[in-house]
Amino acid sequence: MVKDITNLLKNTASNLIGNLIAKGSVVLGVKIAGIAGLLVKDIKLSDKIQSAVSKKAGTGGFISTDELPHYGITADEKIAIEKEFSCSKKDIVVFVAAEKSKAEKAVELISEMMKNQRMPKKTVKTKVKKSVKKPFKAKKKIKKKK
């Protein structure tokens, strides 16, 4: 569900967000469940989404709560954003600051692109199981009796 979180960031020390809000932009966000850490770990995915948002929605990009505190956005602001969306530790909020129609388009695009993304389950056990090969066994040739 898309939410307007402009009020949570209207007094931010972030020049990036503050300047956009001062010019009339809104900040819209969407919660993405179960992928905490994915966008900072999977740079290719993050770049792909960033590129799509810039080209198709005409915005400068997006910020995820995984990246915060950063860009002048404080830890307290991050907590307020996560609280607004009732996030668990596994969830993130992705948000965009832009003119309202562009922000809506960008958040919808991000939500759609992230719909089927999940954190990969990599454990030592699964890596070991996949890397262990069974020894080759030659089939015995059975001689036919004449």
- What is the per-residue pLDDT across 33-91, written as a single tens digit (0 to 9) for each? 999 999 999 999 999 999 999 999 999 899 999 999 999 999 999 999 999 999 999 99
The answer to whether the CB of 121 falls within 8 A of the CB of 35 is no
Which domains are present in the chain? 2-116 (3.30.1360.30)
Cβ neighbours of residue 94 closer than 8 Å, sequence gap 6 or more: 29, 30, 32, 39, 62, 63, 64, 65, 107, 110, 111, 114
Report pLDDT for 145.
Answer: 62
Tens digits of residue pLDDT in 82-110 = 999 999 999 999 999 999 999 999 999 99
Alpha helices in the chain (DSSP H): 6-9, 15-22, 38-41, 43-52, 75-84, 100-114, 124-131
Q: Which residue has the tokens 């469940």?
A: 33
Separation between Cα atoms, residue 145 and residue 106, nearest integer Å: 75
Q: What is the pTM of this model?
A: 0.78
